[in-house]
Amino acid sequence: MALEKYNAKRDFKKTAEPQGVKKSSNGALRFVVQKHAASHLHYDFRLEIDGVLVSWAVPKGPSSNPADKRLAMHVEDHPMDYIDFEGTIPKGEYGGGTVMVWDIGTYHAEENDAVSKDNLLMKKQLKSGSIKVVLDGGKLHGSWHLVKMKGENDQWLLMKSKDEFADKKEFDPNSILTGRDFDAIAKGKKVWHRNRESDEKIVEDPILGEIKSDPKKAVKKLKSNDEFTAEDLADAKKISKFPDDWRPQLATLADETFDNDDWIFETKFDGYRALAQIQNSEVTLLSRNGLPFNSKYPEIAKTLESIANDLILDGEIVVEDSKGKSHFQWLQHLEEKPKQGQLKFYVFDILYFQGYDLRELELLQRKKILKAILPKLKNIVYSEHTIGNGTKAFAEAVKKNGEGIIAKKSDSKYYTDKRTKDWLKIKTDKQQEMVIGGFTEPRGGRVGIGALLCGYYDGSELKYSGKVGSGYTETILKDLRHKLDKIERKSSPFTTTPKEPGVHWVSPKLVAQIKFSEFTDTGSMRHPVYLGLRSDKNPKDVIMETPKVETENVAGTKSETKKATTKKATKKPAESDKALSKELPSDTKVEFTNLDKIYFPKEKITKGDVVQYYNSVADYILPYLIDRPESLRRTPDGINSEGFFQKNVAGTVPKWIKTRKIKSDSAETAVEWLLCQDKETLLFLANYGCIEMNPWSSRIGSLNNPDYIIFDLDPKGAPMKNIVKTALKVKEILDSLSVPAYIKTSGGNGLHVFIPVEPKYTYEQTRNFSHLVSQMVHRDLPEITSLERMPNKRKGKVYLDFLQNGKGKTMASIYSLRPREGAGVSTPLEWNEINDGLDLKAFNIKTIPDRLADKGDLWKDFFKNAINLKEILSKI
C-alpha cells in the first residue's frame, strides 16, 4: 500500500504526524513493533521495505511459541520517520490513542548474509505473500514468518519459527526505548498537536482559567515549550486545603564539584532560607524551622503581596553588594545599616500553585512553572541554573568569592522537611553552624568579648570545636556581649571542658555561622572566622557537618577536584593516599583520589590496591583493550554495592581520553564509547571506579567483525569436575577441527574458551559457529551440560552460553579483576592446569603479578593464530 493512502487518512493541519515521504533504504533494514492503545489495543508490526514501513496490525501481538499463528491485518504503509514515535495522538484524529515503541531493531531476509541484497529480496517476498525474516531487536530475535492467507487481500498470519529464540514465555510489556507503560506515556509531553513553534492559535486552558486576578491569563499563545500550560500540571495533585506547615527540603554536603547532564547547578546563597506562603494576597515569610520573618524583612513581604496567585515559594533572603555578592554579616545587621547593600529574595523552587501540590513534579518541571508565573519585581529574583556543567558553575562561584553551588538532580521530587542526596551543597570554603557555649574576656583595647567558645552536638553531648577570635567589628563585639550576658551560667555545657582562662559559660542557645580552613584530628576548627548569628537554626540540630556524598559516586559524573579551581578548595589527600600514590606514575594526567577506600572488605583490598594492580599489569592487558569500545562497569563504592554500567561517556571523561561515537542499529543517536588506548586511560578507569574491564569483541575499523569467538562455560551450581570435563570436551572437538583453543578463568566460578578469528566474519557467523560447537559438546555430555537459557531449567548443569558472541556484548577482559569476593582475576591457563585439582580462587589480585613474572603472557601469540572460519566450516 503506497503512502498516498497514509496521507489521505490524515489532515496535516490538525496532526503533527510526519507526512508520507518515501526514503531510500540504505544499510541494514529496520523494523519496529508499536503497541497502540486506540479504540482497541493492538500491535503494529512494521518492516522497512523500499524506503517505507510496510505495516500489519496484529491484535494479539507477537508470540514466541511456534504453535501460535497470530492474525496480522495488512494496513497502509507508514513513513520511515514514524519508526520511533512514542506518545499520544489526540482523540478525534485518525488512530487517536497512546502509542508505545514496544520493540525496535534491524532485520534481514532469511538465509541471506549480504545486506545489499536485503531490500530487493524483501520486495520479492512481499509480492509473493510469504515473508521470512530474521529479527535482531530488543525483545524479538531469530526467524519470523508472515504468510498471506489464500483468498484474503489483507489478512496474513504472523508466527515464530523454531530456533533457539522460540518459546520465550513472556515479553516485557513496557517501552523498549523508555521503559514507560501506557499511563506514563499518556502523561508525558509527546502529544501530536500542531507545531508549537508556528501556531498562533489561542487555546482555552482550564487550569490557568482559575487565575482570578487576571482573566487574560486564562489563555496562552502556544509559541514555545517554555510557556506554562495546563499540561504542565497534569501530574500535580489537587488538594483542598492550603498547606501552612510545610518546611524546606535540605541539601547534603558533598566533597567536590562534578559534571553530569542529569543534574542542575545553582548559586549557593549566603543568607537566610525562607518559604513564602501567599494566600489571598496575604504573605507569610517563614524561616527553615518555621519562625516568622515578616517583621524582620517587611520589604520582601510587601513586594510579594503584589502576586495574586496562591503560591508557596522556596528561596533565600540575602543582602548583596553592587557586584552581586551576598554578605551574611550585612544581613545580620540590616536593621542598624539598612542602606548597606540591597535586600533580595532569590526564588529557586515552587511547592504549591492555585490548589495544586507540585512536590511530585520533577524539579525542572517545577522550575519551568516557577519561571512562567513569577512576575518581574524589584527585589524578588528567579534563581537561574545551568545544566550539566558543575565544574564551570563552581569556578564562577570561586571567581566571585561566593559561598559555593547547589547541585540538584533534575528529575527529583521535592521532599519537605527532609535532607536528601538529590540536593548537594558544594562549598568553596568550609563553613557551618556552631553552638556558642562560652566566651573569654577581652584583652588590650578590645571591647565586649575576646573569643567565642563553640561546639557541635554528637547525640546529646555538646563537643568542643575551638575558640573563634576573629571576624568581629566593635559593634558586633558589644552586641554579642549584651546577648551572652543574658544567658550566662556557672557550669560548662561542653562534654569536655576546654582549659581557657577568664571563661564565661553560657547556656547553649545561640548558633553562630563560622568559616574555617579545616577540622584538626581532634575535631577543632583551624583558622575560624565569625560570620554572624543564625536565628533560624535550632542548636540541637547543629552537628559536625562532613561530606556525606563523594561525587565520584554520582552515576555518570565527571568529577573534578576543587584543586583545579582554587587553593582554598583543595582537598588534601589522606596519608594513606599519599603512600599509595608514591607507587604510581608521578607524571600521569590522572589525579588519584580516595585510594584508601575499601573495595574488598573481607580481603581489606583498597581502591589504591586496584589502581596499583592495573599499573603493574598494564603491558599485559592493554593489547586486549586497545581499539575496542569499553562498557564501563563502575563500582565506586566497592563490591558490596551494586554498581552500574556506563556506555555513553560524552562529557564525563577528560578530553585527553580517546572516544568514538558509534550508532546503534536500533537507535537514531550515536553513543560515545571510551577507548582504552594507553596506560593512563587504564589508570583513569581504575580511579573512576572500574574494578572490571569490559571490551568489545571487535575493534574500531572492523566493528561488525569480531576477532575472537567466545565459549562461556557458566556453572550455575555445577561441581568443578563437571566444569573441567566440559572444558576438555570443547578442547577435544576444537582439536579435531584443527582450531586453536585458548582457555582462561572467568575470574569467578567459570571458565572461558576463546578462539582467535580473522576479523572478516559477522557476529552472527561467529555466534553460529559457537552454537554449533556447543551443540556437539551437549550431544556428548547431555547429563552435565545445557543449552537452556532459563536458569531454572539448567540447575546444576554447565550452561554453554554461545550468545555472548554479539555486537556490543562485553565480557571481562583477560587479566581483568572481578568485583566479587576474593578479588579474582580472569587469568589465562595452560591446558595441563585443567584438571580436577583446579582451584579458581588461586588466581587473584595477589597472585597474578608473580604468575606473570614466572609464566609471562600465555596468550601472547593469540591473534597470530587467527583462523579462517570459512575453511574450518568446510571441514564439518
pLDDT at 640 over 50: yes
pLDDT digits (tens, 9 = 90+) for 64-102: 988 889 999 998 888 887 887 788 887 777 777 888 989
Higher pLDDT, 91 or 824: 824
Query: pLDDT confidence of 871, banded at 50, 70, 90?
Result: confident
Query: pLDDT confidence of 217, banded at 50, 70, 90?
Result: very low
- Specify the CATH number for the domain of residue 351: 3.30.470.30
When divided into structural domains, the chain yields a total of 6
Q: What per-residue confidence (pLDDT) applies to 191? A: 40
Question: Is 699 domain-assigned?
Answer: no
pLDDT at 411 over 50: yes
Grid coordinates in use for 43? 500491535
Whether the CA torsion 671, 676, 677, 680 is positive or negative: it is: positive
Q: What per-residue confidence (pLDDT) applies to 385? A: 94
Find the mean pLDDT for residues 222-237.
58
pLDDT digits (tens, 9 = 90+) for 800-823: 888 888 888 888 999 999 999 999
pLDDT at 735 over 70: yes
Q: What per-residue confidence (pLDDT) applies to 54? A: 94
Q: What per-residue confidence (pLDDT) applies to 198? A: 29
Question: Is 552 domain-assigned?
Answer: no
pLDDT at 8 over 70: no
pLDDT at 429 over 80: no
Q: Do 412 and 459 share a domain, yes or no?
A: no
Grid coordinates in use for 157? 498470519
Q: Do 227 and 336 share a domain, yes or no?
A: no
Spatial contact of 370 and 381, defined as CB atoms under 8 Å apart: no
How many residues comprise the chain? Answer: 876
Q: What per-residue confidence (pLDDT) applies to 207? A: 33
Q: Do 464 and 380 share a domain, yes or no?
A: no
Question: Is 245 domain-assigned?
Answer: no
Determine which of 207-216, 397-406, 694-703 has the lowest per-residue pLDDT on average. Answer: 207-216
Q: Do 682 and 796 share a domain, yes or no?
A: no
> What SS3 state is found at 233?
helix
Grid coordinates in use for 384? 537561574
Q: How far apart are the C-alpha atoms of 403 and 630, rounded to whole Å?
A: 38
Determine which of 140-144, 197-201, 227-231 has the lowest per-residue pLDDT on average. Answer: 197-201
Spatial contact of 487 and 456, defined as CB atoms under 8 Å apart: no
Q: How far apart are the C-alpha atoms of 465 and 626, rounded to whole Å?
A: 52
Q: What per-residue confidence (pLDDT) applies to 528? A: 84
Q: Do 759 and 860 share a domain, yes or no?
A: yes
* Segment of 3-17, 223-237, 774-788 carrying the highest mean pLDDT: 774-788
Question: Is 562 domain-assigned?
Answer: no
Q: How far apart are the C-alpha atoms of 112 and 120, rounded to whole Å?
A: 11
Task: Give the list of residues 6+ apart from residue 805 with CB closer than 8 angstroms, or none.
Answer: 697, 706, 709, 710, 763, 766, 767, 770
Query: pLDDT confidence of 186, banded at 50, 70, 90?
Result: confident
Query: pLDDT confidence of 583, banded at 50, 70, 90?
Result: low
Find the mean pLDDT for residues 778-804.
83
Across the chain, mean pLDDT equals 83
Grid coordinates in use for 657? 581520553
pLDDT digits (tens, 9 = 90+) for 450-473: 999 999 998 899 999 999 988 888
Q: How far apart are the C-alpha atoms of 21 and 798, rounded to whole Å?
A: 52
Q: What are the beta bridge partners of residue 606?
A: 598
To the nearest 10°, the Cα dihedral for 456, 435, 346, 399?
-70
Q: Do 396 and 436 share a domain, yes or no?
A: no
Q: Do 725 and 846 share a domain, yes or no?
A: yes
Q: What per-residue confidence (pLDDT) applies to 559? A: 45
pLDDT digits (tens, 9 = 90+) for 344-375: 999 999 999 988 999 999 999 999 999 988 88
Grid coordinates in use for 114? 549480504
Domain boundary among 427, 452, 471: 427
Q: Do 585 and 532 share a domain, yes or no?
A: no
> What SS3 state is found at 30?
strand
User: Percentage of the chain with pLDDT > 70?
Assistant: 85
Q: How far apart are the C-alpha atoms of 402 and 822, rounded to whole Å?
A: 47
Question: Is 553 domain-assigned?
Answer: no
Q: What per-residue confidence (pLDDT) applies to 813? A: 95
Q: Do 452 and 376 share a domain, yes or no?
A: no
Q: Do 264 and 229 share a domain, yes or no?
A: no
pLDDT digits (tens, 9 = 90+) for 646-658: 888 887 888 899 9
Question: Is 701 domain-assigned?
Answer: no
Q: Do 319 and 389 share a domain, yes or no?
A: yes
Burial of 846 (0-12, 13-18, 19+ CB in 10 A): middle
pLDDT at 146 over 90: yes
CA 413 → CA 257, 359, 365, 423, distances in Å?
A: 22, 6, 10, 10
For residue 835, what is the DSSP state? Answer: S
Q: What per-residue confidence (pLDDT) applies to 424? A: 92
- Specify the CATH number for the domain of residue 640: 3.90.920.10
Amino acid at 832: N
Higher pLDDT, 561 or 709: 709
Q: What per-residue confidence (pLDDT) applies to 386? A: 92
Q: How far apart are the C-alpha atoms of 266 and 421, rounded to whole Å?
A: 15
Find the domain containing 535 and state its range.
430-541
Higher pLDDT, 453 or 288: 453
pLDDT digits (tens, 9 = 90+) for 540-557: 989 887 766 656 556 555
pLDDT at 222 over 50: no
Angle at 511 between CA 506 and CA 513, to 5 degrees: 130
The whole-model pTM stands at 0.41
Spatial contact of 119 and 222, defined as CB atoms under 8 Å apart: no
Grid coordinates in use for 135? 529479527
Query: pLDDT confidence of 504, banded at 50, 70, 90?
Result: very high
Q: How far apart are the C-alpha atoms of 408 and 387, rounded to whole Å?
A: 10
Question: Is 446 domain-assigned?
Answer: yes
For residue 318, what is the DSSP state? Answer: E
Question: Is 555 domain-assigned?
Answer: no
pLDDT at 392 over 50: yes
Q: How far apart are the C-alpha atoms of 384 and 347, rounded to whole Å?
A: 9
pLDDT at 667 over 70: no
Query: pLDDT confidence of 23, banded at 50, 70, 90?
Result: low
Higher pLDDT, 260 or 493: 493
Which run of H or E residues covers position 599?
Answer: strand 598-600
Q: Do 518 and 639 share a domain, yes or no?
A: no
Q: What per-residue confidence (pLDDT) applies to 121? A: 93
